[in-house]
Amino acid sequence: MTEKIFPEKFSLKDKIAVVTGGAGLIGKSVAIGLAQAGAKVYVADINEKAGIEIEKQNKNSDLKLKWIELDITDVSSISSCINKVVKDDKRIDIWINCAYPRTSDWSDKFEDIKYESWKKNVDMHMNGYFLCCQKIAKQMKKQKKGSIINFGSIYGVVGPDFSIYEETNTTMPAVYSAIKGGIITFTKYLSTYYAKHGIRVNAICPGGIYDNQPQAFVKKYEEKTPLGRMGKPEEIASSAIFLASDASSYITGHVLMIDGGWTAW
């Protein structure tokens, strides 16, 4: 008899999930998506106001969403977050690194980047992901199972087309490219290191997500994208549900591009 795979294996019923940066643009959609798939989701974010608001907005639904304080740049905060979740729910099945810490000057032109700023951004963002992975993998190793999903970016894989930033006061930060490239290869390292412990580690690399960017930028971005538009947060969330679920039980070390075909050229 053929094993039944749909829809049970796509369900996250009774799973315990933590989404770092869960109050952000993509993180919020991922957290809500996981909850809609049946998981109990901790919206792990340094922004208490935004986290509590997500709780309030969904308190009359059947969704299990709860804000928990987390600063990914602080190892004690990470340990505290994990310990609280494990104390209440005995385990953590899913950990998604979607936090997006950065300095106010991180988008300076390459020639103007201050070394201290570069180091701080790497320390907050990439090293924050390292700390989270190190701590949660220790817990998942005890459980002999778990799914870790790191957020990379198309710009951790390909170089930017700077022409799309013309006529705007924005650019693609150099340190962002370095950070996301590092996270992608780090994900592959972890996937083979922890495979024998039943821990799967994958990366999601979004393309441009619409967030009221300058119209000139949006127009050029859409013209360059095969599907002819920017992405939506919920289109990223659906992939996170898949990689978090048992439907992807034979997938680890994968880098999933969700970019409307941007990197297919």
Query: 135: exposed, middle or buried (C-beta count within 10 Å: 0-12, 13-18, 19+)?
Result: middle
23 within 8 A of 43, measured Cβ to Cβ: yes
Residue 208: what residue type? G
The Cα–Cα gap between 225 and 222 comes to 5
Is 176 catalytic? The answer is yes
20 within 8 A of 27, measured Cβ to Cβ: yes
3-state secondary structure of 150: strand
At 113, list the tokens. 């980047």
The Cα–Cα gap between 73 and 2 comes to 47
Residues 6+ apart with CB under 8 A from 188: 253, 255
Give the total residue count for the chain.
265
Residues 6+ apart with CB under 8 A from 245: 9, 10, 11, 12, 37
Q: Which of 129, 155, 176, 194 is catalytic?
A: 176
* Catalytically active residues, by annotation: 176
